[in-house]
Chain A
Amino acid sequence: MGILRYYPVIQKILVINCNILLENEYSDVINYQEKEKITIFRASMRCAMDLRRILPFVLLCMCYLGFAQKRGGYNSKDPYTFTQFYIGIRGGGALTGVKVYDRFSSLISIDSIPENYDKKYVNYKRLTAFSGFEIAFTYKSQFTISLQPSYRRQSFGYYYSNGWYDTSGTYLKLKNTVNIKSDYISLPLILRYDFTKTALRPFIMAGIFYDIRSQSYKTLTIHAEDTEAGGNSSYQKEQLASTANAIFIRSAIGWLAGAGCSYRLGNIRVIADLSYRSGMHNIVNQKNRYDNIFSPTGDVMDNLKLNQFQFSIGCLFPIKYLTNSYESVD
């Protein structure tokens, strides 16, 4: 029952994660349909927050599991004591970058000196959140295999420019700025090696992940610099927002590697790590590349994969007691 002492900490982690998801984005979306979708999204997030209320029940279950697994006593020759199962919660933030394979645009320059419509990507600038849980199996306190399902957002953006000019000096220049937010259910499978068996344990880890796209959104903001009406006028010409589910395929596979440390806090482990996730293939749906409301402005997706730097914190609750004195960790 002592585990309940950490309930306020766990609750705080959940609140922080959900708030990041809620407050992070969408402030620039004006489209009515989008607002409706965001309302639905927020409602689902509120449901997630409501999970806090059942947290004591979850923790009680964990305690029960602990009792159920209790053995008569510690025996160093008993293989039972070599292993441990953990259940825990995870959350954190990530910065997303883009690796481009092939470039595309619906605008084709037919000038003798072609205008460049290549997109300039904004990499690793937008912090997004993820949260989920972890199921881990540890062997001899040092080798861990861990499944860390999470709901995560990946956000990236780019911009490109085009312009039209007259011999009289008149011109219209457009700067098109695109923001993309893509939510995924991520299923990473990670191998972890702890360097020590002390209370504070540094570790390294590597693994693979399989992400399933949940929802994607895209906004395009066009800023104009225009002299056609007589003076130099700068204004926001247009803002478009749309779901972008058809733009991406459902699956994303990649690898990850990182390092971190865990700390024994009573009978649980608090864990923090930094990792790099790299996609292994193009996630843009080639079939639907041009089939969206943005393409007449020149904006069609390049073939690309997503990479991320992420930090994560979490708590792991052991399932088994390893000693008569109800020691579960180490």
Chain B
Amino acid sequence: MKNTARIISIILLALLINSCDISKNKKEGPEYVLKIYNTTSIAASFKPKDVVTLPDGSYLVLSTTPIPNSSFSGISVSKISSTGEFMGSATLDANWAYAIPNLFAINQKYYTIAMDVTSLSALLIEVDQNLVAKLSSTIDAIQYPISAGLDGDNQFVIQSYNREDKETIVSKVNISGAETARKSFPIGFGDNDVEVPILRHFTREDERLPFLSGSLGGGRFYFNGFYNYHLSTVYFSFGSSAVKPGYLLGFETDRMINGFLPLGGGFFALSKSDYKNYELIPRVQLNTADAQFSSNDDLKGGYKLPELKGNTSIKIRRLTLKGKDVVVYISDTKGKQLVLYFYDANSGVLLSTKYLGDSNPFEMGGIVVTPTNSLVIIGTCYVGSRYPKICYFSLTENQLTL
């Protein structure tokens, strides 16, 4: 009888322990969230390009949307709450064409650079937290703006294309829209006509080129754009009298750097495409002094990733996740998923890989880290496998095996 009681007690205890998942389940929230902001209108197309966190924890999203009867894409801004609820969206003036895939947060004001569809001048657009957008200034001196970054003084580093003189121009512009510095780099009038790829960059979503520009610190700047016929990475100072800048030469639009992130101390996290074959180089030292040049074909030791989709751009972000200094590459795969590669920023060692999205095609937009160390990724989901809409992924720390 004692044995029977003991066996029954053990069974009951085992059942009790096993049933703990019921009470645990009541308290738990999802560790992974996907939300797709759908509209029944086929014409309502949104492709997110960047996201920033607002002071209240919500997210401001920059998207492209079609402009009726125009080859250019328009701009839409949306607001998503910290829990992923859709709070609204606004389509900006149809005369403001989408130009660069960035939203900039400066002193709780939010900016993007657009292009006037008629004059092709750069436009500095300010968007507030209520999705009200206003034209901050028209920068007539800059035409065909193709990339922008920020320097340490909250000035924009804008790369543009000078069609008349076949030059790449990099300008520093303050938040009032005044150009405070400028430097031009010859592209050349050779057989390689850059005009076609640049115009296609503005008008064809799947032929966008990975133009980049920004600050290296210490008064040095970089841009990834056309220089000396080829899509190259160029390092320079605005005031430098050097005859030639430093550069990493590409080959036309076939071999180029398509992701570039300075890590400090002369180290960089890069990605490279070579005839649409992609390589990730999570930590490499480059000499960025003036007149130092090499070919990006010389960059060895990268990780070749045939799964990455051709004509894709690769975003590289430096984040602190689980207390680790992490470089995250985010891109699209041929399987139409989003893929995130997490590397240790200090060693270049792969920490983790994460794929997002099934069933429907996805494309990446932007990524931010929340105060609770969750990752929020905004992208495009092709609902019904056809219609691009904004989607929101949220991953808690537990979802990341770093």
Chain A residues packing against B (C-beta within 8 Å): 106-111, 115, 162-167, 170-172, 174, 187, 210, 212, 224, 228, 237-238, 240, 249-251, 253, 281-282, 285-291, 293-298, 300
Least CB distance, A116 to chain B, in whole angstroms: 11
Q: Which B residues are CB-close (under 8 A) to A107? A: 36, 38, 383
Given A251-B22, A297-B359, A297-B360, the answer on whether A289 and B30 have CB atoms closer than 8 Å is yes
Complex Cα distance, B365 from A121, in Å, reads 35
Q: Which A residues are CB-close (under 8 A) to B32? A: 288, 290-291
In the complex the two chains form, is B19's CB within 8 Å of A165's CB? no
Least CB distance, B356 to chain A, in whole angstroms: 10
Among B19, B25, B26, B33, which residue has its beta carbon within 8 angstroms of that of A210? B19
29 residue pairs bridging A and B, Cβ less than 8 Å apart: A107-B38, A107-B383, A108-B35, A108-B85, A108-B86, A109-B39, A110-B38, A164-B40, A164-B42, A164-B383, A165-B42, A166-B43, A174-B384, A187-B15, A238-B359, A249-B22, A251-B21, A285-B25, A286-B25, A286-B26, A287-B28, A287-B31, A288-B30, A291-B30, A291-B31, A295-B358, A296-B34, A296-B359, A300-B34
Q: Which A residues are CB-close (under 8 A) to B30? A: 286-291
In the complex the two chains form, is B18's CB within 8 Å of A250's CB? yes
CB of B372 within 8 Å of the partner chain:
no
In the complex the two chains form, is A296's CB within 8 Å of B381's CB? yes
For B356, give the chain A residue with the smallest CB separation. Answer: A296
For the complex of A and B, list the 7 residue pairs with the smallest distance between their C-beta atoms, beginning with the closest. Answer: A293-B358, A296-B360, A296-B359, A251-B19, A166-B42, A291-B32, A249-B21
Contact with A along B360-396 (1 / 0, CB 8 A): 1010000000000000000001011111000100000
Least CB distance, B234 to chain A, in whole angstroms: 40
In the complex the two chains form, is A172's CB within 8 Å of B384's CB? yes
Q: Which B residues are CB-close (under 8 A) to A165? A: 40-42
Contact with A along B35-76 (1 / 0, CB 8 A): 111111111000000000000000000000000000000000
In the complex the two chains form, is A164's CB within 8 Å of B384's CB? yes
In the complex the two chains form, is A287's CB within 8 Å of B40's CB? no
Least CB distance, A300 to chain B, in whole angstroms: 8
CB of B29 within 8 Å of the partner chain:
yes
Q: Which A residues are CB-close (under 8 A) to B38? A: 107-110, 115, 162, 298
Given A164-B42, A165-B40, A249-B25, the answer on whether A110 and B89 have CB atoms closer than 8 Å is yes
Q: A249-B21, A296-B359 are in contact. List 12 more A-B contacts (CB 8 A).
A: A108-B37, A162-B40, A165-B40, A172-B42, A228-B386, A249-B22, A282-B25, A290-B32, A295-B358, A296-B34, A296-B358, A296-B381
Q: Which A residues are CB-close (under 8 A) to B28? A: 286-287
Complex Cα distance, B86 from A187, in Å, reads 44
Q: How many A-B residue contacts, CB cutoff 8 Å?
A: 117
For A291, give the chain B residue with the smallest CB separation. Answer: B32
Q: Which B residues are CB-close (under 8 A) to A253? A: 19, 22
Which among B25, B43, B360 has the greatest number of chain A C-beta atoms within 10 A? B25
Complex Cα distance, B38 from A238, in Å, reads 20
In the complex the two chains form, is A290's CB within 8 Å of B34's CB? yes
Q: Which B residues are CB-close (under 8 A) to A163? A: 40
Given A170-B42, A251-B22, the answer on whether A296 and B86 have CB atoms closer than 8 Å is no
Least CB distance, A138 to chain B, in whole angstroms: 18
Which among A166, A187, A289 has the greatest number of chain B C-beta atoms within 10 A? A289
Q: Which B residues are CB-close (under 8 A) to A298? A: 36, 38
Among B21, B359, B391, which residue has its beta carbon within 8 angstroms of that of A250? B21
Q: Which B residues are CB-close (under 8 A) to A297? A: 359-360
Q: Which A residues are CB-close (under 8 A) to B40? A: 109, 111, 115, 162-165
